[in-house]
Chains A and B, each alone.
Chain A
Amino acid sequence: MLVLLLLHLLAGLLAPVLVRWWGRQAFLALALVPAAGFGWVVTRLGPVLAGEEQRETVAWIPVLDLDVALRLDALALAFAALVTGVGALVLVYCARYFSPGEEGTGRFAGCLTAFAGSMLGLVLADDMLLLYVFWELTTVFSFLLIGGSGRRLAARRAASQALILTTAGGLAMLVGLILVGQASGSYRLSEVVADPGSGTAMTVGAALVLAGAVTKSALVPFHFWLPAAMEAPTPVSAYLHAAAMVKAGVYLVARLAPGLADVPGWRPVVLGLGVATMLVGGYRALRQKDLKLLLAFGTVSQLGFLLTLVGAGSAELAAAGLTMTLAHGLFKSTLFLTVGVVDHATGTRDLRRLSGLGRRLPVLAAVGTAAAASMAGLPPLLGFVGKEAAFTALLDGGLPDRTAAVVVLVGLVTGSVLTAAYTARFVWGAFARKPGVPGTALEHPPEALFLAAPAVLALAGLVLGPASPLLDPLVTAYAETLPLYAPEAEHLALWHGWQPALALSALTVLGGAALFAVRGPVQRLQGRVAVGASADEGYWNVVQGVDRLSVLVTGTTQRGSLPAYLGTILAVVLALPGTLLLTQAPWPGEWRAWDTPVQAVVGVVVVTAAALTLRIRQRLSAVLVVGVTGYGIAVVFALQGAPDLALTQFLVETLTLVVFVLVLRKLPKDITERHRPRERAVRGVIAVSVGAFMGAVGAVALAVRTATPVSAGWPGPAYDFGGGKNVVNVTLVDIRAWDTIGEVSLLVVAATGVASLVFLRGRTGGVDRVTRAQLSRSGESGRRAPRDRWLAATATLDPARRSVVLEVVTRLLFHTITVFSLYLLFSGHNEPGGGFAGGLVAGLALVLRYLAGGRYELGEAAPVAPGLLLGSGLLVAGVSGVAGLLLGGGVLQTAVVETTLPVLGDVKLVTSLFFDCGVYLIVVGLVLDVLRSLGAELDRQEDQEDPIELSPGEVVLR
């Protein structure tokens, strides 16, 4: 079974390619897939009738206890035969329905084939959640097939309407299935039906499952999506919206009825909505002028009929229901395909324009009429057998409650009268010669292959009527799972003798004929009593209401002001966790003043500096004052016992200052005040509250802490397994190395972001190197700078911008700093330092070169693209992670190699050093990227008067 489903999937994926190769003939190849399914289903008929079920189970998500559990029993077999058989024929029909080379055929073929697979999966699934997955897949493919290319508004609207209604029902059904599954203790359909639970959960669950079935099978009050879905091409209407997808609701109800029919509320809902739908559908079908719409409302009507039968929960009605389902699948798809042929041949489906087609297309007329006769319930067709069985069942029993049975019977007979009437209208509309209407010309006479599919389907309906005793074992095998209310089970047959049901059948046909005969007055009456409102308009009103509400909510909450959004978020923080803090949290019982007195001094400086930043409007001063808080924090780190942090903080603070200055030189000196005093007051209140809140959170969290820190046991293993004495560094490169991988990746992203914001069109520009030409040009202007002299590129600077002191200091310090950065990198495992600190120091060395010598000097100092550094850094870190794996440990696990070498003595090599090298490269790359973008590139843009100009058609988003 799984193989069949996978085959459908494969065919669905290949379909667009096949259509490209073979054009519309590809449909014939695709038809082989459902045909193979049909063949397989037929071979299983014998074993299944012998009481042997076919099961396949493949574990899917073991943690959730979710399996791909498939099961073929009598009910599944009947539906699977319908789905695969009609599917194969519809695909054959498609091979002539589309014109050669029509646009979108490949997409259509893929969707239709995949749909056939989903539908087959739906009827085979034994797991309820798996069934739900297939259920929603059919919904999605239905959406794609109705919507088509999405260019036509009507198709778009119909597709989204069908999608919204059926997924809404589907979601309700999902909740229902879970409730049912929990109440009965199993998610297997077979087990749920065998032993359903009881109680409120079961009642609610069953009602929600019904909601899914009702929307999917287009029952009142959700029936309107089905006629609207007739925007889809005719094969889709014939397959999805007559034979297969809309039958999913019927299947689900039939599947669950043996277990759930006695759940309170089940019968009233199923029978009430079913009968109402049958009447509403039939009544509205009588008013249609479009043949396809007439059939669509007929389908709605018949779906109500089917659901009434299979949902009643009795053996005799279930048998009738299953027979009727097969009959409906056969005749309704035939009729849709017939309409497709008519449409194709004449270019219209309007029954007021069609005339005399019966004589011009006799084969088609015969096929269509045979199917229509089955729909009307005329002997000797399968439709007659099914309807007769239903009437017989209700006359003798059918329902536990006799009154209900009589009411339902009256409803069904009335509905059948309407059915006979609209059937007559269909045949008349499609094939009759109408006075006053000129005979319709045939634009494209249909080919034989085009007629094959409807002919085979109609023939099946014709043969299965007299041959219905052959169907009986299959139908009985399913019906036996339900209780019998009639005195004895009636077997399927064409002729049961003279009995009341036959009279009812005659009554429906005669009533239908009479209704058709007086159709003029009936139409006028229908026109007169028509109400302006319909369920469809109700739907659109709801959609618009939701739309308006969403605009209202968006309009009132999304004010477009960033400070307002942030303020709202912070206000919520204060309102919820803040309230909890005030009311619930235990306040610390005792306080210490400080860790060391110096901490208090630093604290005063930091808080004062922070307060000063609020008043300062001069950019540079504000940045410097913020820098003071940063350096202050670095001192606190040092005092707390965190030399690594202090080192890193000092370095970063310095770098930040430099980068700020690089950008601020392009901005005006002062920041303009944009806020009114009232806004400032609100901001102040929020700010002070958040500050107080966060301070209190820190204190309270520390005070209530009782557990031993996770890091308490780290120092020993850090040395034994990580091979390092600096626990913080071992944490970064080994214990929490995955974190570090994520963090350095973020640095790469940030660096790339900076570069792309500044360079705009490329990852980076070229590296600015000093060329001989430039040097000689500068030589001409009197500033000779030989290539071999160190810091040569300073010659490219304007003399007014050069600083002798800085150049001398740079010459003295650059190499020292670089060596120091390498020392930090290599010693970081045992001493303060490491890749982060080392990289930052190397970055500072580059900053020095840039400040002293300008952008050319930066190019000379680091003649590589920053992207290369960043990328190779990630590569080195990644490869060293894999190395741990190769040396027999986990990913990123450290291996320690110790040997004694001549001269060097004992050498201890820790593989995490390479990881740290990667970090080092990335940090250097980040700093270099920032310098090249915000430093060198801005210089270049200024030097060369290269403002950012848009080429035609280019849009820059701000």
Chain B
Amino acid sequence: MTPTIVLPVMIGGLYAAGVYLLLDRSLTRVLLGFLLLGNATNLLLLSSGGPAGLAPILGYSDADEINDPLPQALILTAIVITFGISAFVLAIIHRSWRLARNEAVGTDEEDRRVAARRATDADELDPDDLAPEDRAAMHADSLRADLEEIADDVDVPAGRGAP
């Protein structure tokens, strides 16, 4: 099928504007970008349906003159879902403003804490760095200066295995 010039330009323009806004820290602008992206994507889907045609309604038009109904069905639900998600983001914006007087996405402090982490968890420490009671018991025997302090001569009980 032959593409038009107008639709790709519109799609590109909407995507460019949408992405630019989406990369902002202000949630309002992010939401505006999201709306533009939604419009751009709907247009992209529509353009994939081929050239303009008649409404896909029997009785008004013949089956071979209509615009492809499949992208239309996809777009229709997409439009309504975009509305639902926008309302959700608006609620987030409102709450962020109510609670913090700020509607911008700040730096994620948890991420920075992970990045700044230096110490190792006790679950992963070297055995030597642990308190003695937390070490695996067999760790001691690989240490050098730990000789046995028990007397050599023993009293062998009856029935012992070796002679």
Contacts and interface: CB of A to CB of B under 8 A. Distances in A.
B162 A698 contact: no
B76 A728 contact: yes
Contacts of B76: 644-645, 648, 728, 732, 836
A652 B83 contact: yes
A663 B94 contact: yes
B32 A698 contact: no
Interface in A407-451: 420, 423-424, 427-428, 431-437
Contacts of B92: 757
Interface string A707-733: 001110011101100000111100110
A24 B96 CA distance: 55
A588 B94 contact: no
Given A153-B123, A365-B159, A705-B1, A231 B22 contact: no
Contact of B23 (A637, A686, A710): A686
A591 B66 contact: no
A558 interface: yes
Contact of B67 (A297, A641, A697): A641
Contacts of B9: 603, 607, 695
A840 interface: yes
B88 A750 contact: yes
A693 B114 CA distance: 35
Nearest to A640: B52
Could you say which of A428, A512, A640, A750 has the most chain B C-beta atoms within 10 Å of its C-beta? A640
B62 to A, nearest CB: 9
A626 interface: yes
B80 A743 contact: yes
A551 B66 CA distance: 57
Nearest to B158: A358
Nearest to B44: A698
Contacts of B139: 534, 536
Contacts of B112: 560
A633 B161 contact: no
Interface string B105-146: 101111110111100111111111010011111110111111
Contact of A645 (B15, B79, B121, B143): B79
Contacts of B85: 750
Interface in A784-816: none
Interface string B39-76: 11011101111111111111100010011111011011
29 contacts: A153-B123, A160-B123, A293-B137, A427-B161, A433-B154, A436-B151, A541-B126, A551-B115, A558-B115, A603-B9, A623-B32, A626-B36, A639-B52, A652-B79, A684-B20, A686-B23, A691-B15, A695-B12, A702-B50, A703-B1, A705-B48, A709-B50, A714-B70, A715-B58, A727-B57, A735-B73, A753-B88, A757-B94, A934-B91
The 3 closest A-B pairs by CB, nearest first: A691-B16, A695-B12, A555-B115
Given A157-B134, A369-B159, A432-B156, 20 more contacts: A153-B134, A227-B136, A435-B155, A527-B147, A554-B114, A562-B25, A592-B2, A592-B51, A603-B10, A636-B7, A639-B52, A687-B23, A698-B48, A700-B3, A715-B66, A726-B57, A727-B56, A731-B72, A743-B81, A934-B90
Contacts of A359: 157
Contacts of A533: 142
A560 B104 contact: no
Interface in B1-30: 1-26, 28-29
A548 B153 CA distance: 50
A675 B40 CA distance: 25
Contacts of B16: 610, 687-688, 690-692
A846 to B, nearest CB: 14
A378 interface: yes
Contacts of A588: 2-3
Contacts of A289: 148
B155 A433 contact: yes
Contacts of A427: 157, 160-161
Interface stretch (A101-109, A578-586, A654-662, A773-781): A654-662
Contacts of B79: 645, 648-649, 652
B97 A702 contact: no
Contact of A566 (B23, B43, B91, B107): B23
Contacts of B23: 563, 566-567, 683, 686-687
Contacts of B21: 613-614
Residue with the greatest number of chain B CB neighbours at <10 A, chosen from A622, A684, A699: A699
Contacts of A590: 2
A424 B138 CA distance: 20
A687 B55 contact: no
The CB with the most chain B CB atoms within 10 A, among A228, A433, A666, A687, is that of A687
B56 A372 contact: no
Contacts of B29: 622, 671
Interface residues of A, number: 190
A505 to B, nearest CB: 13
- Residue of A296, A376, A690, A691 with most chain B CB atoms under a 10 A cut-off: A691
B126 to A, nearest CB: 5
A153 B131 CA distance: 10
A619 interface: yes
A594 interface: yes
A558 B115 CA distance: 8
Interface stretch (A177-185, A233-241, A517-525): A517-525
A830 interface: yes
Contacts of B156: 428, 432
Nearest to B105: A562
Contacts of B75: 637, 642, 645
A596 B52 contact: yes
B126 A544 contact: yes
A230 B73 CA distance: 64
Interface in A346-365: 352, 358-359, 365
A180 to B, nearest CB: 35
Given A376-B161, A432-B157, A687 B19 contact: yes
B136 A228 contact: yes
Contacts of B130: 153
A512 B163 CA distance: 10
A610 B13 contact: yes
Given A613-B32, A686-B19, A675 B155 contact: no
A695 B15 contact: yes
A86 to B, nearest CB: 22
B24, B114, B116 — which one has the most chain A CB atoms within 10 A of its CB?
Answer: B24
A934 B90 CA distance: 8
Contacts of A691: 11-17, 19
Interface in A510-532: 510, 512-513, 516, 519-520, 523-524, 527-528, 530-532
Contacts of A699: 3, 8
Contact of B69 (A626, A696, A714): A714
B140 to A, nearest CB: 8
B84 A747 contact: yes
Contacts of A731: 69-70, 72-73
A152 B133 CA distance: 10
Contact of B97 (A667, A696, A732): A667
A154 interface: yes
A709 B68 CA distance: 8
A849 interface: no
A563 B25 contact: yes
A595 interface: yes
A134 interface: no
A561 B53 CA distance: 45
B136 A158 contact: yes
Nearest to A701: B48
B146 to A, nearest CB: 7
Given A160-B123, A433-B157, A530-B144, A709 B70 contact: yes
Nearest to B22: A566
Contacts of B123: 153, 156-157, 160
A818 B94 CA distance: 30
Given A591-B4, A671-B29, A758-B95, A746 B84 contact: yes
